[in-house]
Amino acid sequence: MYFCERCNYLMQDTICSNCGKKKLREVKDDDFCYFLTMNPLNAQMFEGNLKEKNIPVAMLGVGIDPVMKTSRNFNVFIPYKDLEKTTQLYKLMFGKLPK
Ligand SMILES: [Zn+2]
Please give the distance, rounded to the nearest whole angstrom, from the Cα atom of residue 19 to the centre of ligand 1: 4
Nearest-angstrom CA–CA distance, 9 and 48: 23
Strands 25-26 and 32-38: unpaired
> 10-residue block means of pLDDT along the chain (99 residues)?
96 96 98 95 96 96 83 94 97 86
67 in a structural domain: yes
37 in a structural domain: yes
Q: Is 65 left (phi over 0), alpha (psi -120 to 50) or beta?
A: beta
- Residue 75: domain span: 2-94
Please give the distance, rounded to the nearest whole angstrom, from the Cα atom of residue 4 to the centre of ligand 1: 5
For 34, which DSSP code? E
77 in a structural domain: yes
CB atoms within 10 A of CB 97: 10
Ion ligand 1: residues, Cβ under 5 Å = 4, 6-7, 16, 18-19, 21
For 80, which DSSP code? G
49 in a structural domain: yes
- What confidence score (pLDDT) does residue 96 get? 83
Q: CATH no. for residue 81?
A: 3.30.70
pTM for this entry: 0.89
Q: Which of 43, 67, 70, 69 lies closest to 57 in space, CA to CA?
A: 43
Please give the distance, rounded to the nearest whole angstrom, from the Cα atom of residue 25 to the centre of ligand 1: 11
Please give the distance, rounded to the nearest whole angstrom, from the Cα atom of residue 33 to the centre of ligand 1: 11
- What confidence score (pLDDT) does residue 99 get? 66
